[in-house]
Every structure is written in structure tokens, then in C-alpha cells.
């Protein structure tokens, strides 16, 4: 690894350059170089978070304030646990904020996840039949927040990856419809690409407000964005066997 010096008296570009080692792909070298120079990666290490993704939920919550003391939170696909780490102090899951209600953080993932102090983590495929009942049993009731930073394994084909992550987001929304308390919040990662229109329409019918946000911690060269749906009103009427109400929820697009 080397650092590149720039012109100018006493000035130096401290960006780390990684040489491609024998047997290592150029793409791997570029990934390693990006990680070493990413300020969010460096900050995560300093502050004890398990990954840079923790700052995405921090920034989203700083704007929309859904992780409040006493909230019951479900983190879908919670590995490696960074979002749970953020949620625990904000909802007062450890009861350390005296005089504030104590919340609950429930993480679920297909794989085993290293314990997060203050969070209850279960190994579960949230797509399986009865997963929503298990979640409600573990929570002791309904959730105030369902959040997901899940992404399907990359295929290298942009449109295929887009469709896969939208399918995951739709599945997460289905669980949210079943476990959210009235007034609750749904937060999930999506990839821009066009196929999310139907999902957005469903969320607009189920929530009072739906926003699309790219937080600062999301890399500028990434097509990811986050949908933040607040004010849950219940599963859309047309999906409960009743008449469709046409959807009068507010829709906004924003970028911090």
C-alpha cells in the first residue's frame, strides 16, 4: 500500500493506494482500496459499530425520529448487527435512560449473528409460514418499527439485482403489514430501477406518508435508496377484501 503525495508545499494526499497482488482480482483490489479510504468505515471502527451501514439508519432516524424510547423494533436480515447496535440506545432497550420507557429490539436473520447487548436476536427465515406469529410472540405484541437493510447476493446484472431486492422489500413489507401497530414505521432499502412502482403504490395506501431518501452514508455511486413509510394505517383495504380507497397518503422524494 502507498500514499500519494500531491503538489504544494507541505501538502499530502493521504488516500491509500493498494497494489494489485498476484492472484488477486482487480475488482478485489478496488474494493479493498475503497474500504480503506471510506470515512464511514473508519468512523465505524472508531465508534464500535459492526459496519458502515449503521450510519445509514442513524441518519434516517435523525431525520424521521422513529427510534424513540419505548419503541418495539424488528430488524429483518439484521446481520452483522449494526442497525441493532444503533436501535438499542435510541429505544432505551437497556433501560439506561431513567424516566424513559424501555423499548425492545428484535433482530432476525437466516444466519447466526453475534449477540448485541440489549437486543434479542433469533435465527429465522422471515419468509417462512408463521414467521409473523413468531415475531409477535417474541415481541409480546405488535411492532412500532420494522426495518430492513437486506440485499440479495449480487448477480452482476443490474436489472436482475434490482428485481431481487424489490422482491425482498415487498416480502419485508408483507411482514410489516402483519406485525406493525397502527401509526408504525417501515424502513427498507431498495435499488432504483423502475420495478418499485407497485411497491410504492401499496405503501402509499397503507401509510400516511412515504418518503424516498438517499442518506449521506449511502455511497454516491450506489443506486440504493431507502423508503421510509410512516403512520401505518393497516393493510390496504383492497387487500383485505374491501373496496380500494384510492390512496390518499402523501408521497415525497428527498435526498439529504
- Helix or strand or coil: residue 227? strand
Whole-model pTM: value is: 0.79
- Is the distance from CB of 34 to CB of 17 less than 8 angstroms? no
- Is the distance from CB of 162 to CB of 193 less than 8 angstroms? yes
Angle at which helix 39-47 crosses helix 54-64, to 10 degrees, equals 90
Task: Kindly state whether residues 167 and 251 are assigned to the same domain.
Answer: yes
- Is the distance from CB of 204 to CB of 251 less than 8 angstroms? yes
Q: Is 138 annotated as a binding residue?
A: no
Name the domain count of the chain.
2
Task: Kindly state whether residue 45 falls inside one of the protein's structural domains.
Answer: no
Task: Kindly state whether residues 32 and 54 are assigned to the same domain.
Answer: no
Task: Kindly state whether residues 63 and 106 are assigned to the same domain.
Answer: yes
Q: Is 250 annotated as a binding residue?
A: no
> What's the grid cell of residue 67?
427510534
Task: Kindly state whether residues 21 and 57 are assigned to the same domain.
Answer: no
CATH of the domain at 223: 3.40.50.150
> What's the grid cell of residue 48?
464500535
First-to-last C-alpha distance (Å) of the chain: 34
Q: Is 240 exposed, middle or buried (0-12, 13-18, 19+ CB in 10 A)?
A: exposed
**Would you give the distance in Å from CA 153 to the centre of its chain?**
16
Residue 183's pLDDT is 98
> What's the grid cell of residue 119?
437486543
**Cβ neighbours of 166 (radius 10 Å):** 21
Q: Is 109 annotated as a binding residue?
A: yes
Q: Is 149 annotated as a binding residue?
A: yes
Catalytically active residues, by annotation = 189
Mean pLDDT by 10 residues, the chain (256 residues): 44 45 52 58 90 95 98 97 98 96 97 96 93 94 95 67 82 95 96 75 95 90 89 84 47 48
Residue 246's pLDDT is 43
Task: Kindly state whether residues 126 and 220 are assigned to the same domain.
Answer: yes
- The residue range of the domain holding 199 is 50-255
Task: Kindly state whether residues 251 and 145 are assigned to the same domain.
Answer: yes
Task: Kindly state whether residues 130 and 218 are assigned to the same domain.
Answer: yes
Task: Kindly state whether residues 110 and 79 are assigned to the same domain.
Answer: yes
Ramachandran region of residue 70, left (φ > 0), alpha (ψ -120 to 50) or beta? left
Q: What is the pLDDT of residues 110-143, one digit of tens each?
A: 999 999 999 999 999 998 999 999 999 999 999 9
Task: Kindly state whether residue 43 falls inside one of the protein's structural domains.
Answer: no
Amino acid at each position: 500500500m502507498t500514499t500519494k503525495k500531491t503538489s504544494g508545499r507541505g501538502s499530502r494526499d493521504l488516500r491509500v493506494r493498494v497494489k494489485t497482488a498476484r492472484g488477486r482480482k482487480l475488482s478485489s483490489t478496488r474494493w479493498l482500496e475503497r474500504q480503506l479510504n471510506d470515512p464511514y468505515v473508519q468512523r465505524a471502527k472508531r465508534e464500535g459499530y459492526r459496519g458502515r451501514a449503521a450510519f445509514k439508519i442513524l441518519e434516517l432516524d435523525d431525520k424521521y425520529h422513529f427510534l424513540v424510547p419505548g419503541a418495539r423494533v424488528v430488524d429483518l436480515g439484521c446481520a452483522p448487527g449494526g442497525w441493532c447496535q444503533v436501535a438499542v440506545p435510541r429505544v432505551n432497550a437497556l433501560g439506561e435512560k431513567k424516566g424513559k420507557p424501555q423499548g425492545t429490539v428484535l433482530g432476525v436473520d437466516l444466519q447466526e449473528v453475534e449477540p448485541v447487548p440489549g437486543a434479542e436476536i433469533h435465527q429465522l427465515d422471515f419468509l417462512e409460514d408463521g414467521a409473523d406469529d413468531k415475531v409477535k410472540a417474541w415481541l409480546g405484541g405488535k411492532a412500532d418499527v420494522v426495518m430492513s437493510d437486506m440485499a440479495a447476493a449480487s448477480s452482476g446484472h443490474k436489472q436482475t439485482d434490482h428485481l431481487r431486492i424489490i422482491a425482498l422489500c415487498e416480502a419485508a413489507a408483507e411482514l410489516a403489514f402483519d406485525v406493525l401497530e397502527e401509526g408504525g414505521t417501515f424502513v427498507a432499502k431498495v435499488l432504483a430501477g423502475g420495478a418499485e412502482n407497485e411497491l410504492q403504490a401499496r405503501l402509499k395506501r397503507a401509510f400516511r406518508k412515504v418518503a424516498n431518501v438517499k442518506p449521506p452514508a449511502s455511497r454516491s455511486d450506489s443506486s440504493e435508496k431507502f423508503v421510509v413509510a410512516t403512520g401505518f394505517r393497516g393493510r390496504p383495504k383492497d387487500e383485505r377484501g374491501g373496496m380500494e380507497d384510492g390512496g390518499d397518503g402523501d408521497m415525497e422524494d428527498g435526498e439529504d
